[in-house]
C-alpha cells in the first residue's frame, strides 16, 4: 500500500543573517566594507552563506544590516540569489544582536534560522530544525564539539539543554556556540531593552528557564573575525564547499521509482540514508530519465525528506548519457570526484559510471542504507 503523507513539521523557510558589525579586529580590511562582504575565494563571504542556506529549502533571506549597509545594498538589493528572495533592514544606530532581531519583528516568520554573517558551520541545517527538542524550547543552538581556539566562549550542555554560558577566559571545557540557531518568534518576548545582546542578555536567561536547546556537531567551522582566520578562509572555505557527491538512481529510493496514488513507496530506511549523506557533508543528487517532467514526484520526495531533516540538492536527467550528466553536475556544483559515487539498481550504469570516473554500487532493493553506512 502507498505510504500516507508524513506529518510536516514547521521547519523554517526563512534565514536571518546578522551582518551589521564592523569587525574592528580586522583593522583596515573593514574600513570600507562590513565583515560579511569581504572577499573569500572569488566572491563575498556572505554569498557563500546564502548559497548554503538555499540548499536547505530556505526561500527568503533577511539581512540585518548596520555598518556600511550601503555596500550590502549595492550587492543584494532587488536580487534573487540562487532562487532565494533577499530583503534587508538597516539599523540607524547600533542596537546589538538582540536589538537587530527586535527591529525586524514585523518581518520574522513564526520560526526562522538566525546565523552570524561572519562565520560558517558545515552542518545540515535541517537536522537542527527537525530535531525534537520539545515544544517548550524557544531556541535551538548549533554547538561545535571541539572549539578551534581560545577566543570562543563555551556552554554547559545537559541532556540536550544549554544550562550555562562561560567566558573564553574561564577555562571551561565544553562545546562552543557556533553562531547558528533555530528561533521561534517568542524570542522577541525575551528582548526587554535595546541595545541588547542575544549572547549575553537573552540566551543566558533562556538557558536558566530551561527554554534553550543545544545540539553538538563535529564539523568544519570558521569565523573570519581575525586576520589569521580570514587568511585561512581563502583556502578552507572553497575546500569545504568542494564536497563529494552521491548520485542516487530513483530505484534506490522508491519501489518501482513511481508515484502511487499520491503516496510514495519508499524503500526501507532510504530516507534515513539520504539524511545521513546530508549530515556527512555530501551533495545528494537523484538521477533518472524524465524527472523534470515529474515535478509532483520530485516535490513529494523533497517534502518527505524534509520532514525528517533531509534534502536533495539537485535532479540529474541523464538525457545525454549518464557519464555526461554526472560530469556536468560535478562541474556545475563544484563537487569533487574524489569520494563521490553512483548508487543504482541498473547494470547498464556500470560502464557509464566508470567512464565518469566514479565508483558505482549496484544495489538490490533496500540496499542503499548499508552502502551509505559503509561510506560514512
Per-residue cell: 353: 559510471
Q: In the β-sheet with 341-344, what is the strand arrangement from edge to edge?
A: 314-316, 283-287, 245-249, 341-344, 360-362
Tell me what the mean pLDDT of segment 177-184 comes to: 98
Give me the pLDDT at residue 257, please.
Answer: 52
Q: CA-to-CA distance for 260 and 252, rounded, in angstroms? A: 16
Give me the pLDDT at residue 7, please.
Answer: 46
State yes or no: pLDDT of 169 exceeds 90. no
How do residues 110-124 score in pLDDT, each as one tens digit? 999 999 999 999 999
Give me the pLDDT at residue 149, please.
Answer: 64
How do residues 120-166 score in pLDDT, each as one tens digit? 999 999 999 999 999 899 999 999 987 766 789 999 999 999 999 99
Give me the pLDDT at residue 292, please.
Answer: 65
Per-residue pLDDT band at 82 (split at 50, 70, 90): confident
State yes or no: pLDDT of 306 exceeds 60. yes
Give me the pLDDT at residue 334, please.
Answer: 94
Contact between 238 and 41 under an 8 Å Cβ cutoff? The reply is yes
Per-residue cell: 325: 550528466
State yes or no: pLDDT of 78 exceeds 60. yes
Per-residue pLDDT band at 106 (split at 50, 70, 90): very high
Please provide residue 245's backbone torsions phi and psi, each rounded to the nearest 5 degrees. -125, 145
Using alpha carbons only, how large is the chain's radius of gyration in Å? 22
Per-residue pLDDT band at 319 (split at 50, 70, 90): low
Give me the pLDDT at residue 148, please.
Answer: 64
State yes or no: pLDDT of 358 exceeds 50. yes
- Range of weakest confidence among 16-20, 40-44, 66-70, 320-324: 320-324
Query: What percentage of the chain carries pLDDT values higher than 90?
Result: 76
How many residues does this entry show for the chain? Answer: 376
Give me the pLDDT at residue 261, please.
Answer: 57
Task: Give 256 or 232, the one with higher predicted confidence.
Answer: 232
Per-residue pLDDT band at 66 (split at 50, 70, 90): very high
Give me the pLDDT at residue 81, please.
Answer: 85
Contact between 128 and 142 under an 8 Å Cβ cutoff? The reply is yes
Q: CA-to-CA distance for 297 and 291, rounded, in angstroms? A: 8
Nearest to 142 by CA among 229, 47, 56: 56
Task: Walk me through the domains of the chain, giving residue ranges and CATH numbers.
Answer: 14-241 (3.90.550.10), 245-375 (3.40.50.1000)
Task: Give 192 or 79, the one with higher predicted confidence.
Answer: 192
Give me the pLDDT at residue 1, please.
Answer: 34
Per-residue pLDDT band at 21 (split at 50, 70, 90): confident
Q: CA-to-CA distance for 254 and 249, rounded, in angstroms? A: 9
Give me the pLDDT at residue 171, please.
Answer: 77
Give me the pLDDT at residue 139, please.
Answer: 97
Per-residue pLDDT band at 10 (split at 50, 70, 90): confident
Give me the pLDDT at residue 6, please.
Answer: 45
Please provide residue 127's backbone torsions phi and psi, each rounded to the nearest 5 degrees. -65, -45
How far apart, in Å, are the Cα atoms of 231 and each of 38, 80, 187?
11, 29, 35
Per-residue pLDDT band at 77 (split at 50, 70, 90): confident
Per-residue cell: 331: 562541474
How do residues 253-304 score in pLDDT, each as one tens digit? 998 755 555 678 899 999 999 999 999 999 999 998 777 667 778 888 999 9
> Mean pLDDT over all residues of the chain?
92
Query: What percentage of the chain carries pLDDT values higher than 70?
Result: 94
DSSP codes of every residue in 222-250: EE-SSHHHHHHHHHHHHHHHS--EEEEEG
Contact between 142 and 309 under an 8 Å Cβ cutoff? The reply is no
Amino acid at each position: 500500500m502507498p505510504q500516507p503523507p508524513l506529518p510536516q513539521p514547521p521547519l523554517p523557510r526563512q534565514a536571518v543573517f546578522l551582518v551589521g558589525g564592523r569587525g574592528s579586529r580586522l583593522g583596515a580590511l573593514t574600513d570600507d566594507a562590513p565583515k560579511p562582504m569581504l572577499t573569500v575565494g572569488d566572491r563575498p563571504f556572505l554569498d557563500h552563506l546564502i548559497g548554503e542556506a538555499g540548499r536547505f529549502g530556505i526561500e527568503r533571506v533577511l539581512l540585518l544590516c548596520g555598518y556600511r549597509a550601503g555596500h550590502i545594498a549595492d550587492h543584494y538589493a532587488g536580487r534573487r540569489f540562487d532562487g532565494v528572495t533577499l530583503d534587508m533592514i538597516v539599523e540607524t544606530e547600533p542596537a546589538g544582536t538582540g536589538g537587530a532581531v527586535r527591529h525586524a519583528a514585523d518581518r520574522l516568520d513564526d520560526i526562522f534560522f538566525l546565523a552570524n554573517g561572519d562565520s560558517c558551520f558545515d552542518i545540515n541545517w535541517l537536522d537542527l530544525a527537525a530535531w525534537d527538542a520539545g515544544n517548550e524550547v524557544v531556541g535551538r543552538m548549533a554547538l561545535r564539539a571541539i572549539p578551534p581556539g581560545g577566543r570562543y566562549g563555551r556552554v554547559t550542555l545537559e541532556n540536550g539543554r544549554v544550562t550555562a554560558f562561560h567566558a573564553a577566559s574561564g577555562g571551561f571545557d565544553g562545546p562552543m556556540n557556533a553562531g547558528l540557531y533555530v528561533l521561534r518568534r517568542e524570542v522577541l518576548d525575551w528582548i526587554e531593552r535595546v541595545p541588547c545582546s542575544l549572547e549575553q542578555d537573552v540566551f543566558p536567561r533562556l538557558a536558566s528557564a530551561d527554554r534553550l536547546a543545544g545540539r553538538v556537531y563535529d564539523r568544519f567551522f570558521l569565523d573570519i573575525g581575525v586576520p589569521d582566520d580570514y587568511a585561512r578562509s581563502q583556502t578552507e572555505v572553497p575546500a569545504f564547499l568542494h564536497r563529494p557527491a552521491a548520485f542516487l538512481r530513483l530505484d534506490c529510493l522508491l519501489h518501482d521509482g513511481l508515484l502511487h496514488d499520491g503516496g510514495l513507496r519508499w524503500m526501507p530506511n532510504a530516507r534515513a540514508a539520504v539524511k545521513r549523506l546530508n549530515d556527512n557533508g555530501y551533495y545528494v543528487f537523484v538521477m533518472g530519465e524524465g524527472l523534470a517532467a515529474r515535478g509532483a514526484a520530485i516535490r513529494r520526495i523533497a517534502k518527505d525528506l524534509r520532514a525528517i531533516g533531509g534534502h536533495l540538492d539537485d535532479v540529474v536527467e541523464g538525457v545525454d548519457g549518464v557519464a555526461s550528466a554526472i560530469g556536468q553536475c560535478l562541474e556545475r556544483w563544484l563537487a569533487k570526484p574524489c569520494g563521490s559515487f553512483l548508487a543504482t539498481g541498473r547494470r547498464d550504469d556500470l560502464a557509464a559510471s566508470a567512464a565518469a570516473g566514479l565508483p558505482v554500487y549496484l544495489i538490490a532493493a533496500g540496499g542503499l542504507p548499508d552502502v551509505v553506512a559503509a561510506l560514512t
